[in-house]
Homo-oligomer: A and B are copies of this chain.
Amino acid sequence: MMSNSAGPLALSSSSAQPEPTPALEELYAGFEEQSLVPLWTEIGDLMPESPRPAARAHRWEWARLLELARTSGDVVPIGRGGERRAIALSNPGLGGAPFATPTLWAAIQYLNPGEDAPVHRHTQHAFRFVVEGEGVWTVVDDDPVAMRRGDLLLTAGWRFHGHHNSSDRPMAWLDGLDIPFSHYVGTTFFEFGPAEVSTREAPARSRSELLWGHAGLRPAAATATADASGSSLAAYRWEHTDAALTDQLSLEDGGHPGTLEPGHAAVRFVDPQTGGDVLPTIRAEMHRVRAGVSTSARREVGSSVWQVFQGVGEVRVGDRAWVVSHGDLVVVPSWHHWQVVADTELDLFRFSDAPVMEAVQAWRSEVGGLVP
């Protein structure tokens, strides 16, 4: 379907350009003076046969990230103005911007014992994924949400939120946001809240979990229409995610459908109120690959970031490949093949801009094909 029968022919920038003449030069000068650019010199870059993103496949090692985050914890104070001690992945193809991909922000955030990350809100949508540790509560619109290993915690756009570390140990986690996307299209609003979170309560379950954390059970008091700006549930606990993956593999053991492909279980985190993605701009998933299994090569329109939660294996993206383990992060640019090879049982968290791609009818995907 994507095949191009035109064969050797190529879109401009190159050979198909008009002959350089004084008249052409004068024309181009006129363009420049009038803030104009012709299509025919740019079409090769703007209209490739298939996506040719500037972003590159890349891997970051968690150990190195964590080390730098710890140093930041010593050197960089936290408070109003800087707001967060967060260090972002900067894709080598994106000119030094703090963007993991053109649409996604991924950062390690670090909070020392007793510290507070001050309260603010912004239209950017955010989540936290906890690869290790516990002891921090993120307080979202006054609802304290415990952060524990393996949990996915949401802060949908325009909710006031701050964090406090109630424990006696520092804690680091992954922040994911749509900062690059909203920065590019110009949708960002921001507002300060108090310097400290409104409550030091530290319950095991947030109020959103008490209300929405029961499969297939909607509070009758909920208004009829869902707020499409983010999930009703603020916390997705590891014990439930783990159980869902385990159940998928047990279905497979019984000969029943359920896994994504043999040896490869996966769940998408969704809003229990609608079944839709947890955030309007971000899809989040957890994958489990059995030891010894190689997943099919797949590619999708749009970009994603993976983080290894537990286990050891190899992640291949386009023509790159890395041995990965606990906490390592890998970026997959648009339309790049990806494949996971599990040495041990391998659990991987993934987030992507798929909801944006789907919302604008740009979604395409392929299973199979070659990965070098």
Decide: A270 and B46 in contact? CB cutoff 8 A. Answer: no
Bound-state Cα–Cα, A274 to B218, Å: 11
CB of A30, distance to nearest CB on chain B (Å): 5
Which residue of chain B has the shortest Cβ distance to A179 in the bound complex? B46
CA distance A364 to B355 in the complex (A): 19
The answer to whether A213 has its CB under 8 Å from any CB of chain B is yes
Q: Which of B35, B40, B273 is in CB contact (< 8 Å) with A89? A: B35
In the A-B complex, the 5 residue pairs with the smallest Cβ-Cβ separation, listed nearest first, are A16-B81, A186-B334, A40-B82, A359-B359, A220-B266
How many residues belonging to A are interface residues under a CB distance threshold of 8 Å?
Answer: 148
The SS class assigned to the A binding surface is loop
Q: List 7 A-B contacts (CB under 8 A).
A: A5-B191, A36-B60, A39-B86, A39-B87, A46-B183, A187-B334, A207-B258
**Mask for A228-262, Cβ within 8 A of B = 1, else 0?**
11010100100011011001101100101111100
Which chain B positions have C-beta within 8 A of A210?
247-248, 250-251, 258
Q: Give CA–CA (A340, B82) in the complex, Å.
A: 40
**Cβ distance A246 to chain B, nearest Cβ, rounded Å:** 9
In the complex, chain B residues whose CB is within 8 Å of the CB of A124: 47
User: Within 8 Å CB of A147, what residues of B?
Assistant: none
**Once the chains bind, are A269 and B216 in contact (CB under 8 Å)?**
yes
Tell whether, in the assembled complex, residue A362 and residue B187 are in contact, meaning their CB atoms are under 8 Å apart: yes
Smallest CB separation, A337 vs chain B (Å): 14
| Distance of A17 from chain B, by nearest CB (Å) | 7
- Determine if A186 and B303 form an interchain contact, defined as CB atoms under 8 angstroms apart: yes
B217 touches A40 (CB 8 A): no
Do B88 and A37 have beta carbons less than 8 Å apart?
yes
Contact at A274–B272, with CB atoms within 8 Å? no
Instruction: Give the residue of B48, B97, B185, B268 whose beta carbon is less than 8 angstroms from that of A217.
Output: B268
Is there a chain B Cβ closer than 8 Å to A90's Cβ? yes
A11 at the interface (CB under 8 A from B): yes
Given contacts A88-B38, A260-B221, contact A207 B51 (CB under 8 A): no
* Given known A220-B260, A258-B219, contact A75–B24 (CB-CB < 8 A): yes
Inter-subunit contact A39/B83 (CB<8 Å): yes
Residues of B within 8 A of A38 (CB): 72, 76, 86-88, 98
* Known contacts A81-B16, A257-B221; A88 and B39 CB within 8 A of each other: yes
A68 to B179, CA, bound (A): 39
Q: Which of B31, B65, B87 contacts A87 (CB 8 A)?
A: B31
- In the complex, the answer to whether B89 meets A192 with C-beta atoms within 8 Å is no
Q: Report whether A302 and B185 are in contact in the complex, using a CB–CB cutoff of 8 Å.
A: yes
The answer to whether A240 touches B257 (Cβ under 8 A) is: no
Q: Tell whether A163 is near chain B: CB-to-CB under 8 Å.
A: no
Cβ contact of A92, chosen from B35, B51, B236, cutoff 8 A: B35
Given A90-B37, A215-B272, A269-B216, A280 and B360 touching (CB < 8 A)? yes
Q: How far is the CB of A271 from chain B (nearest CB, A)?
A: 7
Q: Is the CB of A188 within 8 A of B51?
A: yes
Question: Which residue of B259, B272, B356 contacts A216 across the interface (Cβ within 8 Å)?
Answer: B272
A18 at the interface (CB under 8 A from B): yes
The verdict on A357 contacting chain B, using a C-beta distance below 8 Å, is: yes
Nearest CB on B from A81, distance (A)? 3
- In the bound complex, how far is the Cα of B265 from the Cα of A218, in angstroms? 11
Q: Within 8 Å of chain B (Cβ to Cβ): is A58?
A: yes
Question: By the criterion CB–CB under 8 Å, are B217 and A241 in contact?
Answer: yes
